[in-house]
Amino acid sequence: MDVALGIDIGGTGMKAAPVDVTTGRLLGERFRIPTPQPSTPEAMAAVVRDLDRHFTDITGGRGPVGVAFPAVVRSGVVHSAANIDSSWMGADAASAFSEAVGRPVVVVNDADAAGIAEMSFGAGRGRSGLVITLTLGTGIGSGMFMDGVLVPNTEFGHLEFRGESVERYAAASAMEREELPWEDWADRVGEFLDMVDRLFSPDMVILGGGVSREPERWFHRIDTRFETVIAAMANHAGVVGAAMAAV
């Protein structure tokens, strides 16, 4: 059994669990701490330290650590800051988190991590062709897989729609902010999926994020020319994918 600690950082919560990366199973109950506001590198690194310490009984404070981070991340360095404090721009997240936990940490984009988990253990398992995984949360994250191979750091949520980024219009947070009924929000997701269709002609799209836990409220409104399914790993995908990226 290969075990790694997976940490999934979102706009509102930072979640962690030790993961058996050969099966995708969590080896302890997922632990969540609200994302600090402002979400500066120092404040978030302190939470990463607390999350790591919470699981010392299981990990012994040793072993690989992977972090799923809500931004473009190349070689551990952050290159965008849509839903996190702007002081992250250009910051070396891998070094900051490694210092916090006292051992090496691998940092990847959160939606790429969730996509990796879905493709290995969830709704995309064994699927070839062009598969796009989307997370609908504070922002919209995307993972793009050709025959199971990830093209990292795609940012479909930042495609422009009616003069603003489409995540402003169709992320789950837009429903809350604008007090939209579920059906109206789902129709916005449908418009976004039409745009994805026109640009990429995917074979399959997997819809994840917190809203994938209650598909009965909205998924019946989604009608696409390609196969669209609900993610199978609910909100564990980020934690599992983060752990997988670390080994």
| Angle in degrees, CA 157, 159, 163, rounded to 5 | 115
Ranges within 48-77 binding ligand BGC (CB under 6 A): 70-72
**Residue among 132, 150, 167, 168 that touches ligand BGC (CB under 6 A):** 167
Asked if 51 contacts 88 with a C-beta cutoff of 8 angstroms, the reply is: no
Shortest Å distance, C-beta 109 to ligand BGC: 5
CB closer to ligand BGC out of 136 and 204: 136
**3 state SS of 46:** helix
Indicate whether 157 belongs to the interface with ligand BGC (CB under 6 A).
Answer: yes
Count CA atoms closer than 13 A to 208's CA, side-chain side.
29
Residue span 117-136 as binding mask against ligand BGC, x where in contact by CB under 6 A, dash where not: ------------------x-
Shortest Å distance, C-beta 73 to ligand BGC: 8
Residue number with the shortest CB distance to ligand BGC?
Answer: 139
CB closer to ligand BGC out of 141 and 241: 141
116 phi, psi to nearest 5 deg: -60, -45
What is the b/e burial string over 17-41, where b = at least 16 CB atoms within 10 angstroms of the residue's CB?
Answer: bbbebeebebbeeeeeeebeeebbb
